[in-house]
């Protein structure tokens, strides 16, 4: 697996939208694509970048893949960002 820089992953507005939706509740690609003016394959590519950055996780439920926010990935971002406010 290629590790993607999480800051590069969240730079894209579509990915930020996906993260905001996943923050509310875990969802499938089809559910996420319904709110975006891009195709389901494009949503899958954006989710792959977020997965590679460690910001989302995926679980299989039968034939469905359910995506959710990975709190551990955001913990690393928070730790890095917090250094700027702790001085």
Q: Give dist(CA 23, CA 39) in Å, integer.
A: 21
Pick the more confident residue, 9 or 3: 9
Does residue 87 fall inside a structural domain?
no
Read off the CATH number of the domain in which 69 is found. Answer: 1.10.10.10
pLDDT of residue 2: 62
Instruction: Render pLDDT for 14-43 as a digit per residue (tens, 0 to 9).
Output: 999 999 999 999 999 999 999 789 999 999
Q: What residues make up the domain containing 47?
A: 6-82
Whose tokens are 């499938």? That residue is 28
Distance in angstroms (rounded) separating the CA atoms of residues 58 and 87:
37
Domain count, the chain: 1
The answer to whether 47 and 19 have CB atoms below 8 angstroms apart is: no
pTM value is: 0.88
Inter-residue contact 62 to 48 (CB < 8 Å):
no
């Amino acid at each position: 697996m290629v590790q993607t820089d999480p800051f590069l992953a969240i730079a894209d507005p579509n990915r930020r939208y996906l993260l905001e939706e996943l923050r509310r509740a875990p969802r499938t690609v089809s559910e996420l694509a319904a709110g975006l003016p891009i195709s389901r394959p494009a949503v899958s590519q954006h989710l792959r970048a977020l997965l590679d950055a460690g910001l989302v996780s995926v679980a299989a439920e039968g034939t469905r893949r359910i995506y959710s926010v990975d709190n551990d990935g955001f913990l690393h971002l928070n730790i890095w960002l917090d250094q700027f406010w702790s001085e």
